[in-house]
Structure 1
Amino acid sequence: MNCYLVLAMRRPQFDPAVVPLHQQFLDELRGQGRLERAGPFGDKSGGAYLLRAADLDEALAIAHRDPAHTSGGWDITVREWQAR
């Protein structure tokens, strides 16, 4: 499995009610062994998580199921990350 950094940046139309759904999604990924780390940015502009997936297509498919993405309130960017 490869590592992918998922950036979730809040848009102006961000709905705070989505946050618990997003956190539940991350908990499910953690339970599947796919989530390495996750957390919000200190300025409340969004957050990031480190995802394990076979390839970029799978990482995108997973990240696009995130309620942060499906709600339309956050911009999601996925990058392969070769962390050391």
Structure 2
Amino acid sequence: MTRFLVMLMRRPQVDPAVIPLHQAFLDTLREQGRNEMSGPFADRSGGAYLLRAQSMDEALAIAHSDPAHTSGGWDVTVYEWNTH
């Protein structure tokens, strides 16, 4: 599998009720062996997670099913990441 860096930047209309849903989503990915690490930025502007997927299309489909994205509260960007 390839690694993808998923960056989430908060929008002004973030609904705090979505945060536990997003965290549960990340926990599920971790249980599946797809989320290597995740966490918020220190300035609370957003966060990131390292996702394992077969392709960019699959990574986008996963990231776009994240409640952070589906709620409209975060801008989500996905990068293929060539880690060592």
Whole-angstrom distance in 2 between the partners of 1:19 and 1:41: 14
Structure 1 residue runs without a partner (length 5+):
none
Shift of 1:16: 1.0
User: Structure 1: which amino acid aligns with 2:55?
Assistant: D
User: Structure 1: which amino acid aligns with 2:14?
Assistant: F
Whole-angstrom distance in 2 between the partners of 1:26 and 1:73: 16
Whole-angstrom distance in 2 between the partners of 1:16 and 1:81: 29
Whole-angstrom distance in 1 between the partners of 2:58 and 2:3: 11
Whole-angstrom distance in 1 between the partners of 2:11 and 2:20: 17
Task: State the secondary structure of the residue aligned to 2:17.
Answer: helix
Shift of 1:83: 1.1
User: Structure 2: which amino acid aligns with 1:14?
Assistant: V
Structure 2 residue runs without a partner (length 5+):
none
TM-score, structure 1 normalization = 0.99
What CA RMSD, in Å, does the superposition of the two structures yield over aligned residues?
A: 0.4
Once the two structures are superposed, the pairs formed by residues 37-52 of structure 1 within 5 Å of their partners are 37-52=37-52
Whole-angstrom distance in 1 between the partners of 2:48 and 2:24: 15
Q: Segments of 4+ in structure 1 off by > 6 A?
A: none
Task: State the secondary structure of the residue aligned to 2:27.
Answer: helix
